[in-house]
């Protein structure tokens, strides 16, 4: 499939119509998704209508936008007016929001054409897309393997060339980790750089929306299209989105790159040797392109996983309290009281992993344990931010693996603690609110793609895109 930028160029020039492009994408989905299951919902009629509107703009000489006619898929936790938004949970099955999220609106304004909603780990809680109430998504590179998660459907849709551009949410690595396992580019922007209005919350202080693409340039263009201040999101940064596209051709000359010691197998076990070797080769490629590359120790990184799995479940236990069978979503009418009805609704509506995290979070916030668990985790979060800030006084960009391993078989990590370790490299930047990108860089075990991660300071997207473009060229 063509890249997003090439597609938009063809549509703007009139060499192809947006309807033709949409029909190609819908045909690709029809041909492959029965096996892959990247999509929960496909909206063919909506897509063709939106594509016709783009073609009308082109015909009249209007600017159709930077993503003119580009088919896009959205993770099924972003509100789309009149289109099912389920979070891959039985408790929201069939729910149609009455409004669009800000990212959905911005994509439409940019000329993108929504073709469907993608599968995910229920309420974005997972690292393999095995926890969906509607069945797992398979990795298009090898359907016996997971695509990563929680945005596995969005990653698989791009990897299988069903769409050139998709979007996911990243709370602890849910864009970057599946991007690494599926061999795509995946960006988690700075917290607040992209509006969360219309994103169904998992952990509100950590969630962020970002793109999956086949290349770095598409990711930079997509970021600029969805970024910017939104008064409807109280955490939105009141500043213009950084110019990522302009940074792509600047090269690595003079760039200061720090390789994080703790995320190179120095303090944390479980890294595959091929993954570490590819990360070292990425550091060498940046040095060969003119960057200054040194190792840097960030001691608090080893505590990130523990802090995250207290903070994120605590916020989830609060956010998911709204699913009570009263206001919206499914309701189980059992029992003689409202309390009985709520218990029956949540018991039937939530899957095992969601229940596990709600219980963990409720426990961490409970009387007598708040300071010992949640309060301490927040103090660790501050230590991580302090370590990052000190590192960015010396370096422009930090480098690490994205995932400790390449894609793994279904059921291979059924133990929750083993599964949680998949996010050990990605979680720290969520806790700090900083941007990070995963870029495919050669292959590891079984010839599967390896993702390397570039991290930057707040609103440091231009620097990480500079480095990402260099690595893409060296891969």
Residues taking part in catalysis: 75, 150, 174
Distance CA 206, CA 384 (A): 14
Cα distances from 103 to residues 3, 21, 73, in angstroms, run 20, 22, 12
Distance CA 368, CA 80 (A): 41
Distance CA 475, CA 471 (A): 6
Q: Given CA atoms 9, 10, 15, 19 in this order, what sign does their dihedral have?
A: negative
Number of CB atoms found within 10 A of residue 219's CB: 32
Distance CA 287, CA 84 (A): 48
Locate all alpha helices (DSSP H) within 73-171, ordered by sequence. Answer: 102-109, 152-159
CB 349 within 8 A of CB 342: no
DSSP-based three-state secondary structure for 358:
helix
Locate all alpha helices (DSSP H) within 258-303, ordered by sequence. Answer: 273-288
The CB-side HSE value for 60 (13 A sphere, CA atoms) comes to 9
Locate all alpha helices (DSSP H) within 61-120, ordered by sequence. Answer: 102-109
Give the chain's end-to-end CA distance (angstroms, integer). Answer: 20
Distance CA 15, CA 88 (A): 38
How do beta strands 256-260 and 397-401 pair?
A: parallel
Distance CA 257, CA 396 (A): 6
CA 71 to chain CA centroid, Å, is 18
Q: Given CA atoms 234, 235, 239, 244 in this order, what sign does their dihedral have?
A: negative
Locate all alpha helices (DSSP H) within 205-253, ordered by sequence. Answer: 216-226
List, as one string, the DSSP characters of 318-341. Answer: HHGGG-SSSSSS-----SSSHHHH
DSSP-based three-state secondary structure for 201:
coil
List, as one string, the DSSP characters of 354-421. Answer: HHHHHHHHHHHHSTTTIIIIIIHHHHHHHHHHHHHHHHTTT-SEEEEESSSSS--BTTTT-SHHHHHG
Q: Tokens for 362, please give them.
A: 């409720």
Q: What angle is formed at CA 70 by the lines to CA 187 and CA 3, rounded to 5 degrees?
A: 65
My answer on whether omega of the bond before 150 falls inside 30° of 0, hence cis, is yes
């Amino acid at each position: 499939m063509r890249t997003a930028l090439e597609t938009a160029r063809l549509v703007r020039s009139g060499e192809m119509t947006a309807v033709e492009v949409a029909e190609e994408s819908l045909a690709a989905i029809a041909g492959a998704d029965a096996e892959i299951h990247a999509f929960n919902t496909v909206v063919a009629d909506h897509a063709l209508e939106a594509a016709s509107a783009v073609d009308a703009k082109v015909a009249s000489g209007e600017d159709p936008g930077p993503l003119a006619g580009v088919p896009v898929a959205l993770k099924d936790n972003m509100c789309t007016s009149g289109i099912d938004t389920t979070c891959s949970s039985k408790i929201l099955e069939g729910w149609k929001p009455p409004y669009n999220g800000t990212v959905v609106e911005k994509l439409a304004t940019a000329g993108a054409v929504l073709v469907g909603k993608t599968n995910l780990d229920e309420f974005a809680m997972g690292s393999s897309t095995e926890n969906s109430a509607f069945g797992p998504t398979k990795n298009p590179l090898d359907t016996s393997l997971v695509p990563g998660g929680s945005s596995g459907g969005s990653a698989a849709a791009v990897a299988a060339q069903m769409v050139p551009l998709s979007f996911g949410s990243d709370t602890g690595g849910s864009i970057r980790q599946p991007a690494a396992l599926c061999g795509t580019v995946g960006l988690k922007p700075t917290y607040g750089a992209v509006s969360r209005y219309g994103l169904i919350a998992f952990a509100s202080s950590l969630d962020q929306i970002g793109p999956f693409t086949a290349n770095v340039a598409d990711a930079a263009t997509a970021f600029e299209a969805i970024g910017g201040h939104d008064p409807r999101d109280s955490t939105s940064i009141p500043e213009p989105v950084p110019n990522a596209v302009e940074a792509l051709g600047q090269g690595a000359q003079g760039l200061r790159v720090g390789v994080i010691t703790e995320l190179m197998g120095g303090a944390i076990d479980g890294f595959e040797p091929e993954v570490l070797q590819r990360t070292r080769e990425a550091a060498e490629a940046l040095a060969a392109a003119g960057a200054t590359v040194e190792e840097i120790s960030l001691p608090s990184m080893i505590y990130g996983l523990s802090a995250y799995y207290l903070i994120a479940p605590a916020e989830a236990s609060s956010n998911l309290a709204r699913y009570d069978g009263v206001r919206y979503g499914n309701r189980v009418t059992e029992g003689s009281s409202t309390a009985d009805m709520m218990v029956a609704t949540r018991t039937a509506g939530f899957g095992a992993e969601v229940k596990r995290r709600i219980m963990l979070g409720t426990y961490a916030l409970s009387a007598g344990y708040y300071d010992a668990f949640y309060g301490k985790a927040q103090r660790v979060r501050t230590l991580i931010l302090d370590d990052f800030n000190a590192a960015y006084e010396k370096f422009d960009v930090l480098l690490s693996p994205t995932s400790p391993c390449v894609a793994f078989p279904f059921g291979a990590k059924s133990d929750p603690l083993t599964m949680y370790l998949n996010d050990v490299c990605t979680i720290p930047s969520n806790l700090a609110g900083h941007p990070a990108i995963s870029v495919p860089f050669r292959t590891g075990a079984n010839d599967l793609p390896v993702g390397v991660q570039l991290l930057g300071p707040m609103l440091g997207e231009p620097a990480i895109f500079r480095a990402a473009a260099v690595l893409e060229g060296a891969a």
